[in-house]
Amino acid sequence: MVADQAATTATGRHDYGALMARAKEEAERLVDLSNRGARVLVVTHIDADGLSSGSVAFSALARKNLAVSVRAIPDLDPRAIEKLKADKFEFYLFTDLGSGLLGELSAALGDKFLVVDHHQVPEADLAHARLFNAWNYGYDGGEEACSSSMAYSFAKALDAKGNQDLSALSLVGASGDRQDKGDARSLGGLNKVAVEDAVTQGLVTTTKDLLFYGRETRPVHEAIAMSYSPFIAGLSGAKDAALAALSNSGFKLKEGGRWRTLSELSNEEKQKVIEVISGFIASAGHGADLLKDLVGTIYTFEFEDPLTPLRDAREFGSLLNACGRMDRTDLGISICLGDREDALRQALALMSEYRGKLNKAIQKLQLETDKVSTTGNVMMVMGEEFIEERMTGSVSSLLASSDRFRDKLVLVRAKSGDSDLKFSSRIGDSYPGKVNLGEVMREAAQSVGGVGGGHSMAAGAKIPFSKRDDFTKAVLEKVAAG
Ligand SMILES: [Mn+2]
Tens digits of residue pLDDT in 113-122: 999 999 988 8
Residue 318 shares a structural domain with residue 219: yes
Residue 413 shares a structural domain with residue 298: no
Residue 96 CA to ligand 1 center (angstroms) comes to 5
Residue 142 CA to ligand 1 center (angstroms) comes to 9
In total, how many domains does the chain have? 3
Residue 71 CA to ligand 1 center (angstroms) comes to 16
Q: Which pLDDT score is estimated for 340?
A: 98
Residue where a domain terminates, one of 172, 189, 218: 172
Answer whether 272's CB lies under 8 Å from 251's CB: yes
Residue 39 shares a structural domain with residue 91: yes
Q: Is residue 115 part of a domain?
A: yes
Domain ranges, residue 467: 368-480
Residue 198 scores a pLDDT above 50: yes
Per-residue pLDDT band at 93 (split at 50, 70, 90): very high
Residue 165 CA to ligand 1 center (angstroms) comes to 20
Residue 476 CA to ligand 1 center (angstroms) comes to 26
DSSP conformational letter for 451: E
Q: Is residue 184 part of a domain?
A: no
Is residue 39 packed enough to be buried (19+ CB in 10 Å), middle (13-18) or exposed (0-12)? middle
Residue 481 CA to ligand 1 center (angstroms) comes to 27
Residue 334 shares a structural domain with residue 373: no
Residue 340 shares a structural domain with residue 398: no
C-alpha angle with apex 214: 59 to 349, nearest 5 degrees?
65
Residue where a domain terminates, one of 334, 363, 392: 363
Residue 246 CA to ligand 1 center (angstroms) comes to 37
pTM: 0.91
Residue 272 CA to ligand 1 center (angstroms) comes to 36
Q: Model confidence over 455-468: pLDDT tens digits?
A: 899 999 999 999 99
Per-residue pLDDT band at 230 (split at 50, 70, 90): confident
Residue 417 shares a structural domain with residue 330: no
Residue 170 CA to ligand 1 center (angstroms) comes to 11
Residue 15 CA to ligand 1 center (angstroms) comes to 20
Answer whether 192's CB lies under 8 Å from 95's CB: no
Residue 198 CA to ligand 1 center (angstroms) comes to 20
Contacts of 25 (CB under 8 A, 6+ apart): none
251 vs 198: which has the higher pLDDT: 198
Q: What's the CATH code of the domain at 16? A: 3.90.1640.30
Q: Is residue 177 part of a domain?
A: no
- What's the whole-number average pLDDT of the chain? 93
Residue 139 CA to ligand 1 center (angstroms) comes to 14
Residue 336 shares a structural domain with residue 239: yes
Q: Which pLDDT score is estimated for 310?
A: 96
C-alpha angle with apex 182: 180 to 185, nearest 5 degrees?
50
Residue 277 CA to ligand 1 center (angstroms) comes to 31
Residue 157 CA to ligand 1 center (angstroms) comes to 20
Residue 146 CA to ligand 1 center (angstroms) comes to 5
Per-residue pLDDT band at 12 (split at 50, 70, 90): low
Residue 281 scores a pLDDT above 90: no
Residue 383 CA to ligand 1 center (angstroms) comes to 24
Q: Of 237, 185, 119, 174, nearest to 429 (Cα)? A: 185
Residue 77 shares a structural domain with residue 97: yes
Taking the C-alpha atoms of residue 424 and residue 462, their distance in angstroms, rounded to an integer, is 9
Per-residue pLDDT band at 10 (split at 50, 70, 90): very low
Answer whether 143's CB lies under 8 Å from 179's CB: yes
Answer whether 346's CB lies under 8 Å from 376's CB: no
Per-residue pLDDT band at 4 (split at 50, 70, 90): very low
Q: Of 51, 8, 53, nearest to 197 (Cα)? A: 8
Residue 174 CA to ligand 1 center (angstroms) comes to 8
Q: Is residue 187 part of a domain?
A: no
Q: What's the CATH code of the domain at 392? A: 3.10.310.40
Residue 74 shares a structural domain with residue 10: yes
Residue 406 CA to ligand 1 center (angstroms) comes to 21
Q: Is residue 249 part of a domain?
A: yes
Percent of the chain beyond pLDDT 70? 97
Stretch 36-49: mean pLDDT: 96
Residue 178 CA to ligand 1 center (angstroms) comes to 9
Q: Is residue 221 part of a domain?
A: yes
Residue 118 CA to ligand 1 center (angstroms) comes to 7
Residue 135 scores a pLDDT above 70: yes
Taking the C-alpha atoms of residue 274 and residue 212, their distance in angstroms, rounded to an integer, is 11
Q: Is residue 188 part of a domain?
A: no
Residue 240 shares a structural domain with residue 334: yes
Q: Which pLDDT score is estimated for 75?
A: 84
Q: Which pLDDT score is estimated for 284?
A: 55
Residue 401 shares a structural domain with residue 459: yes
Residue 252 CA to ligand 1 center (angstroms) comes to 41
Alpha helices by DSSP H, 326-383: 329-336, 342-367
Residue 190 CA to ligand 1 center (angstroms) comes to 13
Taking the C-alpha atoms of residue 141 and residue 133, their distance in angstroms, rounded to an integer, is 8
- Concatenated DSSP letters for 180-216? --SGGG---HHHHHHHHHHHHTTSEEEEEEE--TTTT
Residue 458 shares a structural domain with residue 438: yes
Stretch 335-342: mean pLDDT: 98
Q: Is residue 190 part of a domain?
A: no
Q: Which long-range contacts (CB under 8 A, 24 or more apart) does 245-251 make?
A: 245/221, 245/276, 245/279, 245/280, 246/220, 246/221, 246/273, 246/276, 249/275, 249/276, 251/220, 251/276
Residue 47 CA to ligand 1 center (angstroms) comes to 8
Residue where a domain terminates, one of 304, 335, 363: 363
Per-residue pLDDT band at 404 (split at 50, 70, 90): confident
